[in-house]
Structure 1
Amino acid sequence: MPTIGFVYPDHAAEDDYPLAERMLGDDTALRVEHIYGTDLHAVPELLDLGSPTRLSDGAALLAKHAPDAVVWACTSGSFVYGWDGAAEQVAGLSEAAGGLPASSTSLAFVHAAQTLGLRTVAVAASYPGDVAKLFADFLGRGGIEVVSAAAADIDTAAEVGNLPAEQVVDLAVSHDHPDADALLIPDTAMRTLALVDDLERRLGKPVLTANQVTVWEGLRIAGLARTYDGLGTLLRTGGRR
């Protein structure tokens, strides 16, 4: 059984992963283990959340699942390290996981956008403005132009996890931009997997969300080149348009 392991911070929208496993509908197992820190969307706290020690602890927890690949399922706790720091972060996670392929949600967004050939994007972020800007800067380092970046100024992941679906949809639809090839929603604390197809129909373009790209990245780095319905353009096409 192919198995992807996810290191997930605290508790918010981790139920997107068993939902994704059901939606994949094959023999792929998605296993989540938690690490704990403060869930505040602030730079010092996010640097602590994504520290080597915490991610090593997560890798150790995943070992019992014998995963084929591991992913740090946190956007802000990866892009806050910057482009080079995010690469070093996943290299450390790979080493802690015994040399397994490893990645993070921030890198997954860049890889997904590059694979789909996206040049311009709009960002509908739950974060405070200073943190949202760091995400836009990170995307820029990956060669992706951010034509619009909205920040909802929500301070904690717990608050984001409690957003009702209709509020998530409103956040997304109201912050699209006509010049954007796609809309990005970058918080793994936000439940989005059940909404992606509907959002794409409304907007008429690809929508990339944190938990969606994290699942796709895990499949990609594990060498599972498959396509799936119900999870947006990215997984329906396997990233090929």
Structure 2
Amino acid sequence: MTSQSSPRAQFGLILPSTNTVVEAEFNWMRVEGVSWHTGRIYIPDPVLNDDASFVRFLEGLRTEIGRAVRDVVTAKVDYLVMGMSAETFWGGADGAAEFEKWMKDLSNGLDVTTGALACKAALDAYGAKKIGVITPYQPVGDQQVRDFFEQMGFEVAEVHGLKCETATSIGDVTPEEIKEAFRKVNADDVDLLIQAGTNLPVARVAPEMEIELGKPVLAINTATVWHAYRTNGILDQFDGFGSLFSEH
């Protein structure tokens, strides 16, 4: 339901309690007449230092996510946006579709933008075929991201995971570390570079890498905001966050 302060859209934004990047980056990209209303998923243990702890993190997230959705829909938001990444890629194409349906069920029928499906839509907007991917994840998470993109019909040249040790430390990765990760997955025959992991601060780094590498470089938070806007008829274009918002 729109309001006096947000006549174009009120978005319910769901993210882990450990995330410190999404709200900042989403607000940088907020256009006049829309608002973000956050529901946080309680994360009791942010440790991610091996595959087993990464899986436990996701299991805990799935247990708590219903409470975050329950709370945010009381604001009578128009649409859900997932400010989280790994769970939306989990299980490949089928898992992404099941997650989207689950969110609609939890919210009593609200449509939703997920990170994984927003990335797919952005890749389609560019006509990309072969991609390089960076993540903050452990190998088990990297494989899920690879599986999703390959099942969606893209060739994945390489996935480079930064293996961040905790959910909070993802937000501490420096711009230069992010740039170097993109360079590692780049090659002449790669059409586009993209990032997973919403707590990795990439929204302002990606457009710098587009200039350096001469090809599209996409941050997942940028793709998610773009998809939420375009799906809701918000067609504003602006500079500062790369070619996705300035050209598509």
Could you say which TM-score interval applies, normalised by the shorter chain?
Answer: 0.7 to 0.9
Aligned to 1:35: 41
Q: Which residue of 2 aligns with 1:12?
A: 19
The normalised TM-score by structure 2 is: 0.85
Alignment of 1:122-201 (within 5 A): 122-201=132-211
Of the candidates 35, 52, 56, which is equivalent to residue 45 of structure 1?
56
CA distance, structure 1, for counterparts of residue 28 and residue 139 of structure 2:
35
How far does residue 152 in structure 1 lie from its aligned partner after superposition? 2.1
Q: For residues 206 and 36 of structure 2, what CA distance do their matches in structure 1 show?
A: 19
Code of the aligned partner of 1:90 = E
1:26 corresponds to 2:37: no
Q: Which residue of 1 aligns with 2:218?
A: 208
Distance 1:17-1:47 versus aligned 2 partners, 3 A rule? closer
Letter in 1 for 2:149: L
Letter in 1 for 2:90: V
Q: Distance in 2 between matches of 1:228 and 1:11?
A: 29
When normalised by structure 1's length, the TM-score is 0.88
2:160 and 2:184 in contact (8 A); partners too: no
**CA apart distance, 1:178:** 1.9
Which of these residues, 86, 95, 98, is aligned with residue 96 of structure 2? 86
Alpha-carbon distance in 2 for matches of 1:10, 1:189: 11
Aligned Cα root-mean-square deviation (Å): 2.1
SS of the aligned residue for 1:122 comes to strand
Task: Give the SS at the match of 2:168.
Answer: helix
Structure 1: which 5+ residue stretches go unaligned?
none
- Rounded to whole Å, the distance in 2 between the matches of 1:62 and 1:124 is 30
Q: Mapping of 1:99-110 within 5 angstroms?
A: 99-110=109-120
Q: Secondary structure at the match of 1:193?
A: coil
Residue deviations 1:73-129, cap 9 Å, x none? 222122123321221111121122221111311121112111221111001222122
Check conservation: 1:105, 1:214, Cα contact below 8 A.
yes
Question: What is aligned with 2:126?
Answer: 116
Seen in structure 2, the aligned counterparts of structure 1 residues 82 and 13 have a Cα distance that, compared at 3 Å, is: same
Q: CA–CA distance in 2 between the matches of 1:33 and 1:76?
A: 17
Name the CA shift for 1:231/1:66 in 2 (closer, same or farther; >3 Å).
Answer: farther
Rg bigger for which structure?
2
The change in CA–CA distance for 1:229 and 1:17 in structure 2 (over 3 A counts) is farther
Deviation at 1:70, TM superposition (A): 0.6
State the shift of 1:186 in Å: 0.7
Unaligned runs of 5+ in 2: 1-5
**Cα distance, 1:26–1:123 mapped onto 2, change above 3 Å:** same
2:139, 2:111 → 1: CA distance?
Answer: 32
Tell me the equivalent position of 2:3: none
Instruction: Kindly tell me the number of residue pairs found equivalent between the two proteins.
Output: 236
Instruction: Tell me the CA shift for residue 49 of structure 1.
Output: 4.2
